[in-house]
Structure 1
Amino acid sequence: MDPVIIVGAGPVGLTLALALARQEVPSVVLDESTGTDEPRPARTVVLREDTAALLERLTGVPLSEEGTRWAGWRSLRRKQVMREITFDDDEPAPLHIAQHVLTGALRHALAGERLAAIAPDSRLDTVEQEPSGVTAHTRGAGGTWWRGSYLVGCDGPRSTVRKLQDIRFPGRTAVERHAVAALRTELPWPDQALLHRAPPWRTSGPSAGEVVGRPLPDGVWRLDWLLPPGKDLVTPELLLTRVRETLAGWTGGPTPPYELLDTGVHTVHHRLARRWRAGRVFLAGDAAHLLGALGTQGLDEGLRDADNLAWKLALAWHHGPHEALLDSYQTERRAVVAARLRATDQSLPLLRGGGGLRSYVPGSGRGHEGLLVDGHLGHGPLGVPGGYASSPLAPQDLEGEVPVDTPAGAPVEDVRVTAEDGSFVRLRDRLGRGALLVVLIAPGTGVWDRKHWVTAGIMPRLAAAVAALPHPAELLVSEEYPGAAAHSVLLIRPDGHLVTALNGVRPADLYTAAEATLGGPPPAPSEAGTTTQETTEATAGSR
């Protein structure tokens, strides 16, 4: 079968290629560039714990050593500290890393991957769909025709794939603008990120109402100043003044020594593609959505797109198209991003409107800080990773379903588990292989050799139930899981989202849940072919 064509060699496209390769699906990445990434220290990304774990699992690189995990977070308003957070096991630290470092790690991993290839200097200009696959044409030094099973547009905000499929991309332009600088200096809060609203020092030019400082390795910091509405030009002189005033204000004296490494202006747009699937063509990352105001991280959502889509494409590639499963990518991911955009847009007037009675209500400032912290740290509606509770893949009416601390559809906790070979591993290490995961909660198993309990109690019956599932599944055992009683059985998707928790071994419920997770019973071969052709013809007719 033909490889998956991935258009765009940014972090999302490269991540998708690696995720497919781990599930034995070949791909080719069409890269407009020459295959090198210019170092830009001011262009960085913040990753939550689970997306950082995804990238480390795919690249084999300990990204924590390439970026910085913050020791803490502080929010200030004028001279008052509004909130302080110390990161520990109960509050995992975000990972802050330069984007070119992340992209380099992904490219290096792909260079040794037999099932993936990057085609540099390949600019897409044509996409044609047929019932059996996709044909794409590129121009440039590597201009040629490419044949693929599916095509995924990871080609950014100006996506050629999206335009060729005539998919609308409505939303708001220039929701926020930030002046950005990367510099090497010494600040009073080593390895701590901070948000400072209404700083007390006098500023030159338009008011600097908010500045964010985020540490990187080797004493480097990224500073972001929220710019007032409008299109005022950010001159080098104005930016240097901002740097000096901010550093002096934070250190409480003259401007400390610093080395300016990179600068820029970052404009935040909020947009959401009407469709994320058109037959055998999909959109992911910035090609499908733009968000990022109030500290929310767009790339983190793009990586979740890739993780969600990879296992579904892999199943379709190996076993034939299952339309309900492929359709669920758009249903799940678009709903999550739309909810994030709605939450951000609803908060923007409150946090950026200024003046009015609400600004004088006691405690309102502290509530505002909380909303902004949510966006920056991945909490609340502005930042928490989205779940798929309303997914069409969610099983219904399971007799033995019980609640645990993780809601159905949400990402699972990274507990220690015993694998089938008896080794102790982290649960997240078993994700991304295309298999379902079945986890038995069995207190006490961690202190006994696996050979003593693998054939005892309920294990044989559970192993038989797992072997009978309609899709390959790996049986794991954990001593505990938050909120789960002994002998609970968890079913987990290949992308790490909880399907259900059952109170004991219930083969019928387990099978029903697994079948629902795959999109229901697979269609007959003739039905699958008809559905795919009808979808392709409908897509062609809409262009």
Structure 2
Amino acid sequence: MPLHTFDDRALPNGSRTDVAIIGAGPTGLAAAALLADYGVRVTVLEKHPSTGDEPRAISITDESLRILQQLGVLEGASSEMLLDTGARYFGRKGQLIAEVKPASSRLGHPGKSQFDQPDLEARLAAAVAARTNARLRFKHEVTSIADGPEGVTLTVTGPQGASSFSARWVIACDGGRSFARGALGIGLEGSTQVEKWVVVDLRNVPGEPERFAEFHCNGRRPVVVVPGAGGRRRYEFMLLPGDDEAEILSHESIARLVAPFHPISLGDVRRAAVYVAHQRVAARYRSGHVLLAGDAAHLMPPFAGQGLNAGLRDAANLAWKVAAVVSGGGTDALLDTYEAERLPHARDTVRLSHRIGQVVMSTSPTVNLLRDTTVNAVGIVPSWKRWLTGMKFLKQPHFRAGCVVPADAALPPAARELVGRSLSQPQVRLRSGVDVGLDEVIGNSWALLSPADHGALGVIALPEGSDNRQQAVETLVSDRTGAFAAAVGAHILVRPDRYVAAVFTDTASAVTLTHLAKYCSGPARLLTARAGV
């Protein structure tokens, strides 16, 4: 999809919005579209003239695809994706030591796929521009941030010069070199790796790609190869002592590095750059009325392919909470749960990405021998092998603090474990006989699922939008997968971001509502509406 510049008209001096988003990368654009769908007035400010043209992130997870499904852009974007991919790791002698692929996803989409960031950004920008309560302004750079009791005043420099712009809330999605993070005095915790890499993105690669990335952990010059759709492919080569950065980016050097895999011509190179990976997380995600998301909040090594996915999780987690506060249905404490829920998982993912990098990058013969031997030994024990080959080392978010209610100990363990996790999205059958994904039934607001015997599932959902005080909608469906069988006889309370806030029985309804009332009014409105259904 072509890059988009959209509207670069100057914002009127002194204009105001509910939420301003700094940065029109995938995280900022996704947050903007979600907020608009919740009924919030949102303005995106981007200093560059258009969406990005560099294929930076390339791996996307099932949860991110689910968010794109919610935004209505997945169908078009998936045409430029290589869906359902895995990874192969090769040892010091070039031998295959592990083939890994995510286990079957609960969320209705492949666990791992490859995508094209310029295409996705353009589609997200088009989605934002199509929403009537969203404004997208390119060539608008935020140069100062002043937080006050009622909101934030921004100085924005655009094509017509500087102007003042106010917002009740600001979400800073302005990347790893975040101006907002620096202006707020929020530090980064972590380190930068010593090793540098050259990344080469190609087009016009012939043949049908295998659906596996390759990690060549050869101990001499480690190489990562990632396939893509439409003839796209990425190569990453670790720089060695004595390599000249400028020289290695020449076409001759790039052609020599890629030659063991296939020949290339000059026009095949989309991008070639030297990069160094960071493993850093912001000390805090909130300062007054300003919240950090995406790379402004965390910088991840690329080896686990989780950077963009963490940003989209941030957007989904934060958007509904900000929308609730804007509409008067959420408290300040609700916004504090954003950091409580997202920061621990970001730290875990940064650590995991760093560890995978250490496995890939090692040039020590002793370490590489130990690695190959250990991986082979893991394959002997069935449970360890399933853990490795099913990529279960990629921890999924599980909120134990935040806007969640600990489940009653009397419930079955499998039912208690639903709390704080992303809700499964099985295919369910409507009374009409049509099969749809569960998300199409529960909508984008609070929902209550009531599993019964033989796969029967009652769904009560609030209407979408921030002012959803209308009568709740009840739908009866059939779930033949048994995804919620452990909770038969109980109720599953689902947040707008499709995470489970609570699992409870009728006798625990009052306790559940009391716990959540300090955060938002959505659950109480849903259960009140349920009584009238």
Is the TM-score greater than 0.5?
A: yes
The letter for the 1-side match of 2:176 is P
Residue in 2 aligned with 1:497?
Answer: 499
Larger displacement relative to structure 2 (314-323 or 356-365): 356-365
CA contact (8 A) 1:359 1:365 kept: no
Q: Is the 8 A contact 1:420 1:475 kept in 2?
A: no
In the TM superposition, residue 10 of structure 1 has moved relative to its aligned partner by 0.9
Give, in angstroms, the shift of residue 428 of structure 1: 3.2
CA contact (8 A) 2:245 2:274 kept: no
| Alignment match, 1:215 | 227
Q: One-letter code of the match for 1:122?
A: H
Preserved CA contact (<8 Å) 1:7 1:30: yes
CA contact (8 A) 1:44 1:96 kept: no
**Structure 2 residue aligned with 1:413, among 415, 424, 431?**
424
Is the Cα–Cα contact under 8 Å of residues 9 and 154 in structure 1 kept in the other structure?
yes
SS in 2 for 1:33: coil
2: CA distance, partners of 1:66 / 1:465? 34
Give the 5 Å matches for 1:3-42.
Answer: 3-34=18-49, 36-37=50-51, 39-40=53-54, 42=55
Asked whether 1:45 is paired with 2:58, we answer: yes
Q: Which residue of structure 1 aligns with residue 82 of structure 2?
A: 68
Q: 1:435 aligns with which of 442, 446, 449?
A: 446
TM-score, normalization by structure 2 = 0.79
Matched, 1:195 2:214: yes
Q: Distance in 1 between matches of 2:216 and 2:386?
A: 15
Q: Which residue of 1 aligns with 2:6?
A: none
Q: Deviations over 1:471-526 (max 9, x none)?
A: 99765544244362444532222112223434xxx23424533553464577xxxx
Structure 1 match to 2:185: 166
Deviation at 1:20, TM superposition (A): 0.5
In 2: Cα distance, 1:433 partner to 1:404 partner: 25
**Which amino acid in structure 2 is aligned with residue 384 of structure 1?**
K
- Confirm or deny: 8 A CA contact 1:167 1:274 kept in the other structure: yes
Quote the Cα distance in structure 1 between the aligned partners of 2:337 and 2:276.
31
TM superposition score normalised by structure 1: 0.77
Q: Which runs of 5+ in 1 are unaligned?
A: 201-206, 447-458, 523-543
Please say if residues 127 and 134 of structure 1, whose CA atoms lie closer than 8 Å, have aligned partners that are also in contact.
yes
Whether the 8 Å contact between 2:19 and 2:170 is mirrored in structure 1 is yes
Deviation at 1:319? 1.6
Determine the structure 1 residue equivalent to 2:167. 148
Separation (CA, whole Å) in 2 of partners of 1:227 and 1:256: 20
**Residues matched between the structures, number:** 486
Q: Give the CA deviation at 1:316.
A: 0.7
Paired residues for 1:97-108 under 5 Å: 97-108=115-126
Q: Are the structure 2 counterparts of residues 347 and 61 from structure 1 closer, same or farther at C-alpha, using a change threshold of 3 Å?
A: closer
Q: CA 1:287/1:520 → structure 2, altered by over 3 Å: closer, same or farther?
A: closer
Task: Give the equivalent residue in structure 1 for 2:396.
Answer: 385
Note closer, same or farther for the CA distance 1:366–1:235 as it changes in structure 2 (3 Å cut): farther
Aligned to 2:414: 404
Report the aligned-residue RMSD: 3.9
Which sits farther off after the overlay, 289-298 or 4-13?
A: 289-298
Distance 1:464 1:101 in 2: 33
Cα shift readout 1:256-279 (whole Å, capped 9, x = no counterpart): 779333322232111111111111
Task: Tell me the amino acid that sits aligned with residue 225 of structure 1.
Answer: F
Match of 1:456 in 2: none
Matched residue, 1:298 = 307
CA contact under 8 A between 1:67 and 1:97: conserved in structure 2?
Answer: yes
Distance 1:393 1:164, change over 3 A: same
- Indicate the SS of the match to 1:412: coil
C-alpha distance in 2, partners of 1:518/1:208?
Answer: 56
| Displacement after TM superposition at 1:350 (Å) | 5.7
Deviations 1:376-425 (A, max 9, x none): 999344x333221x213231363653332754212222112357999643
The residue aligned with 1:363 is 373
The amino acid across from 1:332 in the alignment is: E
Distance 1:88 1:463 in 2: 30
* In structure 2, distance between residues paired with 1:230 and 1:59: 49
AA aligned to 2:20 is: I
Judging changes above 3 Å, is the alpha-carbon distance between structure 1 residues 43 and 346 closer, same or farther for their aligned structure 2 residues?
Answer: closer
SS of the residue 2:485 aligns to: coil
**Aligned partner of residue 24 in structure 1, secondary structure:** coil
* Secondary structure in structure 1 of the residue aligned to 2:336: helix
In the TM superposition, 1:187-266 aligns within 5 A as: 190-199=209-218, 207-209=220-222, 211-228=223-240, 232-236=244-248, 240-248=252-260, 250=261, 255=263, 259-266=268-275
User: What does residue 80 of structure 1 align with?
Assistant: 95
Whole-Å separation in 2 of the counterparts to 1:95 and 1:106:
18
Q: 1:508 to 1:421 in 2, by over 3 A?
A: farther
Contact 2:86/2:99, CA 8 A, preserved across alignment: yes
Q: Residue 11 of structure 1: CA displacement?
A: 0.8
Q: Relative to 1, partners in 2 of residues 1:183 and 1:119: Cα closer, same or farther, differing over 3 Å?
A: closer
Q: Percent identity?
A: 24
User: Closer, same or farther in 2 for the Cα pair 1:100/1:519, shift >3 Å?
Assistant: farther
Corresponding residue number in structure 2 for 1:119: 137
Q: Which residue of 2 aligns with 1:516?
A: 515
Match for residue 272 of structure 1 among 264, 281, 305 = 281
1:130 aligned to which of 134, 144, 148: 148
CA distance in 2, matches of 1:2, 1:172: 37
Distance in 1 separating the partners of 2:378 and 2:277:
20
CA distance in 1 between partners of 2:412 and 2:269 (Å)? 55
Structure 2 CA distance, aligned partners of 1:286 and 1:378? 27
In the TM superposition, residue 284 of structure 1 has moved relative to its aligned partner by 0.4
Q: AA paired with 2:78?
A: S
Q: Is the 8 A contact 1:74 1:192 kept in 2?
A: no
**1:317-349 alpha-carbon deviations (Å, 9 max, x no partner):** 112551221100011111111122233445655
Q: What is the distance in 2 between the residues matched to 1:478 and 1:492?
A: 18
Residue 152 of structure 1, CA deviation = 0.8
Q: Distance in 1 between matches of 2:448 and 2:293?
A: 25
- In the other structure, the counterpart of 1:528 is none
Task: State whether residues 428 and 438 of structure 2, in contact with CA within 8 Å, keep that contact through their aligned partners in structure 1.
Answer: yes
Contact 2:213–2:227 (Cα < 8 Å) also in 1: no
SS at match of 1:69: coil
Q: Which stretch shows the higher mean deviation, 477-486 or 220-229? A: 477-486
Structure 1 window deviating more from structure 2 (13-22 vs 410-419): it is: 410-419
- Amino acid in the other structure paired with 1:49: D
Cα displacement (A) at 1:148: 1.2
Say whether the 8 Å CA contact 1:32–1:121 is kept in structure 2: yes
Conserved in 1, the CA contact under 8 Å of 2:100 and 2:389? no
Instruction: Find the aligned partners of 1:175 and 1:4 in 2 and give their Cα distance.
Output: 39
